[in-house]
C-alpha cells in the first residue's frame, strides 16, 4: 500500500531531524579540539575557503542534476541539485557505506514521485563519473609520494594495496557501465540473492534497472557534449575542493606546494572512504597529516589543516540540511498535485 504524501513527508522529516541530531552529537564530541584549531586560524583566509567549498558542492550537485535529467527523471535541476547536496553532506559526515545518504536521497525524491530504480540508477552512474578524477589521481599521487619522500616500507605496502583495490573497483564498475552484457550475470546473481534471502522475486526490478542504465549510457553516446559537461563539472568540483584545502593551509601557516597539496588530499580522502568510522573520523585527518608530514610539511600544521578542513568543508554545510529540506518539501507539495 502506497504511503500518503503527508505521511511520507512526516517520515522524511523525522529522518532529517534524527540525522541532524546525530551530526550535532558528532560535532559536540570533538568541539574542544575544533575550538582550539579555530583559535589558531588566520580568519582572513576563511572567506576564500568557504567560497571554494560552496563552488565545489555547487558543481558536484549540478552534475547530478544533469545526469538525472538525461536518465529521464522529471524534476527541475535546482531541486535535483539540492537533493544531491543534502545526501552528499550526510554521506560525508555519517559514513555508512552511503546507506544513510542514499536512503535519504530516495525519500526526498519520492516526494516528487521518482522511483527507487531511477534514484539508484542515476546515483550509480553519477557516482561512477564523479569518482573518475579521484581514482585517476590516486596512482599518480602514490607515484609522486614515492618520488618525493622517504616512505617507510609498511606505508608503501598499505598505500600500494589501497591503490590496487581502488583500481580493481574502477575496472569492474567501468566494465559494468560500458558493457551491458557483463551486467547480466550480476543481475542474475542479485535476483537469486533476493529470492533466497529476502524471499522476493526482484528479477524484473533489476532488469528495469539495467535497461535504465543502458538508456543513460546510450544517451551519453548520442550526446557526448553532455558527458563532457558532466566531466568538466566534476573536474571543477575536484579542483575547488583542493583549492579550499590550500587556503586552509595558508590560514594556519606557510603555503604547501601544489604537488604536495594534491597528493596529501587525494590519499587522505581515499583512506577515509575505506573507513567505516562515521565520516572517516580520525582516519582521514591522520592519513592526510601523515602524508603531508612525509612530504616535508610540519606535522602540527598538517594536523590542524586536516581538522580545519573537516570543520569548514564537511561539518559547516551540515547545518544547511534543514533549510534546503524545507524548500524541497514546499516545492514538492506545489508540484506533485499539479502533476496528478
Q: Note the pLDDT tens digit of each residue in 41-75.
A: 788 889 999 999 999 999 999 999 999 999 889 89
What is the average pLDDT across 177-191? 71
Q: Where are the alpha helices (DSSP H) in 40-115?
A: 46-70, 77-93, 99-110
Distance CA 53, CA 156 (A): 31
Above 50 in pLDDT, residue 289?
A: yes
Q: What is the mean pLDDT of residues 316-324?
A: 86
> Contact 119/105 with Cβ under 8 angstroms?
yes
Tell me how far apart the alpha carbons of residues 71 and 65 are, in angstroms, rounded to a whole number: 10
Q: Which pLDDT belongs to residue 62?
A: 97
Q: pLDDT at position 2, please?
A: 44
Reported confidence tier of residue 190, pLDDT bands at 50, 70, 90: low
How large a percentage of the chain has pLDDT more than 70?
83
**pLDDT above 60 for 281:** no
- Residue-level pLDDT at 1: 37
pLDDT band at 7 (very low <50, low <70, confident <90, very high): low
Percentage of the chain modeled with pLDDT above 90: 33
Report d(CA 284, CA 301) in Å as an integer: 15
pLDDT of amino acid 66? 96
Evaluate if residue 96 carries a pLDDT over 50: yes
More confident residue, 48 or 200: 48
What is the C-alpha to C-alpha distance for residues 112 and 69, in angstroms, rounded to an integer?
14
Contact of 136 with 234, CB cutoff 8 Å:
no
- pLDDT at 187 exceeding the cut of 50: yes
Region 224-246 average pLDDT? 95
Predicted confidence (pLDDT) at residue 33 exceeds the cutoff of 70: no
Out of 62-71, 77-86, 127-136, 283-292, least confident range? 283-292
6: confidence class by pLDDT, cuts 50, 70, 90: low
pLDDT interval class at 340 (50, 70, 90) = very low
In this model, does residue 259 exceed pLDDT 90? yes
Q: Could you tell me which of 238, 246, 237, 248 has the C-alpha nearest to residue 311?
A: 248
Which pLDDT band, with edges at 50, 70 and 90, does 270 fall under? confident
Residue 280, pLDDT above cutoff 70: no
Which pLDDT does position 229 carry in this prediction?
95
Amino acid at each position: 500500500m502506497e504511503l500518503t504524501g503527508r505521511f511520507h513527508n512526516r517520515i522524511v522529516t523525522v529522518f532529517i531531524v534524527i540525522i541532524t541530531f546525530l551530526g550535532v552529537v558528532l560535532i559536540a564530541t570533538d568541539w574542544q579540539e575544533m575550538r582550539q584549531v579555530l583559535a589558531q586560524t588566520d580568519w582572513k583566509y576563511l572567506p576564500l575557503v568557504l567560497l571554494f567549498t560552496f563552488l565545489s558542492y555547487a558543481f558536484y550537485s549540478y552534475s547530478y542534476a544533469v545526469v538525472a535529467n538525461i536518465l529521464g527523471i522529471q524534476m527541475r535541476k535546482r531541486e535535483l541539485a539540492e537533493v544531491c547536496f543534502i545526501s552528499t553532506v550526510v554521506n560525508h559526515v555519517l559514513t555508512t557505506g552511503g546507506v544513510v545518504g542514499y536512503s535519504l536521497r530516495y525519500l526526498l525524491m519520492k516526494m516528487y514521485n521518482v522511483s527507487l530504480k531511477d534514484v539508484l540508477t542515476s546515483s550509480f552512474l553519477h557516482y561512477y563519473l564523479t569518482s573518475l578524477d579521484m581514482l585517476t589521481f590516486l596512482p599518480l599521487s602514490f607515484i609522486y609520494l614515492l618520488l618525493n619522500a622517504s616512505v617507510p616500507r609498511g606505508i608503501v605496502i598499505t598505500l600500494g594495496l589501497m591503490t590496487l583495490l581502488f583500481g580493481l573497483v574502477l575496472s569492474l564498475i567501468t566494465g559494468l557501465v560500458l558493457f551491458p552484457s557483463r551486467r547480466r550475470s550480476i543481475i542474475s546473481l542479485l535476483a537469486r540473492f533476493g529470492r533466497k534471502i529476502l524471499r522476493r522475486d526482484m528479477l524484473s526490478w533489476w532488469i528495469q534497472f539495467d535497461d535504465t542504465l543502458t538508456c543513460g549510457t546510450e544517451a551519453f553516446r548520442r550526446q557526448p557534449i553532455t558527458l563532457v559537461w558532466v566531466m568538466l563539472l566534476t573536474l571543477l568540483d575536484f579542483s575547488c575542493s583542493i583549492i579550499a584545502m590550500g587556503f586552509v593551509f595558508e590560514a594556519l601557516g606557510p603555503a604547501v606546494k601544489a604537488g604536495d597539496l594534491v597528493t596529501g588530499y587525494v590519499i587522505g580522502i581515499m583512506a577515509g572512504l575505506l573507513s567505516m568510522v562515521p565520516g572517516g573520523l580520525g582516519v582521514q585527518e591522520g592519513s592526510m597529516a601523515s602524508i603531508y608530514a612525509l612530504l616535508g610539511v610540519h606535522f602540527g600544521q598538517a594536523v590542524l589543516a586536516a581538522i580545519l578542513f573537516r570543520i569548514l568543508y564537511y561539518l559547516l554545510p551540515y547545518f544547511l540540511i534543514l533549510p534546503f529540506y524545507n524548500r524541497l518539501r514546499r516545492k514538492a507539495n506545489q508540484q506533485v498535485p499539479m502533476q496528478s
